[in-house]
A and B are shown apart, each in its own frame.
Chain A
Amino acid sequence: MPPADPAPPWCALCAPKRGNSEDEYEDAWAVDPAAGRFAVGDGASESSFAGRWAQLLTEAFLAAPRPEDMPGWLAEPRRRWSAEVMGLELPWFAEMKREQGAFATLLGLGVLRPTADRPGKWRAVAVGDSCLIRVRQGRQVNSFPIRKAADFGNQPRLLGSRGGPLPPPEHATGSFLGGDRLFLMTDALAQWFLDAHERGGRPWEAVASVLSAEQPDEAFAGWIEELRDRDGMRNDDVTLLSIEAGLAPEE
């Protein structure tokens, strides 16, 4: 007999900003499919040690006993970030930059997968402009926390590694039905997706075609380059986490 609530099928894809090396990629993602937890983060390019901070945040979300209590679990990744970087010998400019701290967005998601007996659900927490997009029955699109392509800017709300004010996290919940797909995207891809949808397109079809490619990593890299050239997608690190409900679509 299969387990009562098996982990949902998922896939993660990422690409660095054009002109940057893979080492310079400053988004992050982390998954614990068995626990139904997924997270993406986006390190702010104007801060340093930001990729590492984004990674620590996503991992801390997975490990948090109460993930919705962000002020409660934020102390641990902050402590780890400091322990890793504060002792490093650096030139004056890198030292000053480190003093300012690293900054990143965070989008954390918990899912309960639907079964034949009951619908599934999701709960998300977000600071900043990394987005959760749910596509249902190939038409219905819901997005959180940014709802419109025009609402993206270059000064999102951010979590700092060295204390400072904590922007109030945004929370959302929703149903997760058979046939649904959940996408976690960092800002450039989410903005492209919402813009394409607002123009009447079906951007999830392009995403699905990349995910079903024989080599999704390669297909993703090529597709992102194409979006930058063809659709003027903002040149930025790009991360996509896709989670499927499985089962047949429910009417």
Chain B
Amino acid sequence: MPYSAEISRTNPTALVFLLDQSSSMLEPFGAQPEKSKGAGVADALNRLLQNIVLKCAKADGIRDFFHVGMIRYGGRVESAFGGALAGSTLVPVSKIANNPLRVEVRTRKVDDGAGGLIDQNFKFPVWFEARPTGRTPMCEALAKAKEFLTVFLGVQPNCYPPIVVNITDGQPTDGDPREAAKAVRALASKDGNVLLFNAHLSDKQNRPIEFPTEESGLPDDFAKLLFRMSSELPPKLLAAAKADRFPVGPQSRGFVFNADLVAVIRFLDIGTRVAQSVR
């Protein structure tokens, strides 16, 4: 059965993030209008990376279940890693864990147990900062992801199929990205085709949409375009999404609108999962 390969240190898989950093990302983000879409991408990516690191963290260090790539596209297409990892293509998650640009201390309000709220500090590692500029070469970014994954699949032909996550406002300037997307999805390990998921950050203030089964309810043509480019969720991811109470159906696709894809990281099976409800 496809999409059933074990993800382990000897058989890791790859995750590649494509980050739209074009000038349109300076516009406000519909889900949080005080932020730009570009800052929304950065937050989404930093949260994703943190979740990946924590998924692989054990008391004695990090287990390299994943190799991670980040490609930014805004004007140019290039590796989005900075600091010690600047210019890297795919790096094992232990290197990600040990090389954030910085670890910020942020504050959030929490229940004080007596009906009030108190400030609580928490650490927020930052790997990526928004610097929107220029046009939106999404097709070129997809081609770059294909390049990275072709090399990876040569080394790990039996891996759980790699996942490409494209975070964008969906307005490419270098042509119709469907062909480039198709070429990414055509890559395969022995366990199945590469999965392409899309997170659409819009300036529209519509309610978030997660893992839709059809495009008819989507708010605009950009959302529909990204939906068409997105892979269907394989059965195990679908079952995990269902268990986490997402309203998914058999044809649900890896597409979200004004929402993040952190849940997808949770769905990946590396062993006994701790249900969200008991954390």
> Which residues 1-56 of B sit at the A interface, judged by CB distance below 8 A?
6, 8-10, 50, 53-55
**Given that A19-B9, A100-B279, A160-B278 are known contacts, is A46 also in contact with B53, CB under 8 Å in the complex?**
no
Q: Which residue of B lies closest to A103 (CB)?
A: B274
A92, B275: Cβ atoms under 8 Å?
no
Residues of B within 8 A of A167 (CB): 278
B59, A85: Cβ atoms under 8 Å?
yes
**Given that A46-B55, A100-B279, A165-B278 are known contacts, is A93 also in contact with B272, CB under 8 Å in the complex?**
no
Q: Would you give the 0/1 interface string for A144-170, flagging 1 where the beta carbon is closer than 8 Å to chain B? A: 000000000111111010001101000
Of the candidates B6, B125, B273, which one forms a contact with A92 in the assembled complex, judged by CB atoms under 8 Å apart? B125
In the complex, A91 Cα to B54 Cα: how many Å? 12
In the complex, A224 Cα to B76 Cα: how many Å? 52
Q: How many residues of A contact B (CB 8 A)?
A: 35
Q: Which residue of B lies closest to A45 (CB)?
A: B271
A94, B278: Cβ atoms under 8 Å?
no
Residue A115 lies at the interface, judged by CB distance under 8 Å to chain B:
no
22 contacts between A and B (CB under 8 A): A19-B10, A45-B270, A46-B55, A46-B270, A92-B123, A93-B53, A93-B57, A96-B54, A96-B57, A97-B58, A97-B59, A100-B54, A101-B279, A103-B272, A154-B271, A154-B272, A155-B243, A158-B272, A158-B275, A160-B279, A164-B279, A167-B278
Of the candidates B8, B97, B272, which one forms a contact with A91 in the assembled complex, judged by CB atoms under 8 Å apart? B97
Residue A244 lies at the interface, judged by CB distance under 8 Å to chain B:
no
In the complex, A93 Cα to B53 Cα: how many Å? 7
In the complex, A101 Cα to B269 Cα: how many Å? 19
Q: Would you give the 0/1 interface string for B50-94, flagging 1 where the beta carbon is closer than 8 Å to chain A? A: 100111011101100000000000000000000000000000000
B273, A44: Cβ atoms under 8 Å?
yes
Q: Would you give the 0/1 interface string for A81-100, flagging 1 where the beta carbon is closer than 8 Å to chain B? A: 00001000011111111101
In the complex, A17 Cα to B9 Cα: how many Å? 12
Interface size class of B (residues with CB under 8 A): 20 to 34
Interface class of chain B by DSSP: mixed
Of the candidates A42, A101, A165, which one forms a contact with B272 in the assembled complex, judged by CB atoms under 8 Å apart? A42
B272, A156: Cβ atoms under 8 Å?
yes
A91, B278: Cβ atoms under 8 Å?
no
Q: Which residue of A lies closest to B277 (CB)?
A: A165
> Which residues 57-90 of A sit at the B interface, judged by CB distance below 8 A?
85, 90
B278, A158: Cβ atoms under 8 Å?
yes
Of the candidates A94, A155, A164, which one forms a contact with B273 in the assembled complex, judged by CB atoms under 8 Å apart? A155
Q: Which residue of A lies closest to B266 (CB)?
A: A46
**Given that A19-B8, A93-B62, A100-B279 are known contacts, is A158 also in contact with B57, CB under 8 Å in the complex?**
no
- Nearest-neighbour CB distance to chain B for A179, whole angstroms, equals 34
Residues of A within 8 A of B278 (CB): 103, 157-158, 160, 164-165, 167
Residue B216 lies at the interface, judged by CB distance under 8 Å to chain A:
no
A154, B57: Cβ atoms under 8 Å?
no
Residues of A within 8 A of B10 (CB): 19
Which residues on A are within 8 Å of B, measured CB to CB?
17, 19, 24, 42, 44-49, 85, 90-98, 100-101, 103, 153-158, 160, 164-165, 167, 235-236
Of the candidates B123, B269, B273, which one forms a contact with A96 in the assembled complex, judged by CB atoms under 8 Å apart? B123
**Given that A93-B53, A94-B59 are known contacts, is A236 also in contact with B274, CB under 8 Å in the complex?**
no
Most interface-central of A46, A96, A100 (chain B CB within 10 A): A46
In the complex, A167 Cα to B277 Cα: how many Å? 10
Of the candidates A95, A158, A236, which one forms a contact with B271 in the assembled complex, judged by CB atoms under 8 Å apart? A236
Residue B117 lies at the interface, judged by CB distance under 8 Å to chain A:
no
B54, A47: Cβ atoms under 8 Å?
no
In the complex, A81 Cα to B135 Cα: how many Å? 53
In the complex, A92 Cα to B61 Cα: how many Å? 11
Residues of B within 8 A of A98 (CB): 59
15 more contacts with CB within 8 A, not counting A48-B57, A95-B123, A96-B123, are: A19-B8, A19-B10, A42-B272, A46-B271, A46-B272, A46-B273, A49-B59, A94-B61, A96-B57, A97-B57, A101-B279, A154-B272, A155-B272, A158-B272, A236-B271
Residues of B within 8 A of A95 (CB): 123
In the complex, A37 Cα to B25 Cα: how many Å? 63
In the complex, A93 Cα to B271 Cα: how many Å? 19
Residue B103 lies at the interface, judged by CB distance under 8 Å to chain A:
yes
Q: Which residue of B lies closest to A104 (CB)?
A: B272
A93, B97: Cβ atoms under 8 Å?
yes
Residues of B within 8 A of A49 (CB): 59
- Nearest-neighbour CB distance to chain A for B34, whole angstroms, equals 26
In the complex, A236 Cα to B278 Cα: how many Å? 22
Q: Which residue of B lies closest to A105 (CB)?
A: B272
Q: Which residue of A lies closest to B100 (CB)?
A: A92
Residues of B within 8 A of A165 (CB): 277-278
In the complex, A100 Cα to B270 Cα: how many Å? 17
Residues of A within 8 A of B55 (CB): 46
In the complex, A42 Cα to B272 Cα: how many Å? 9
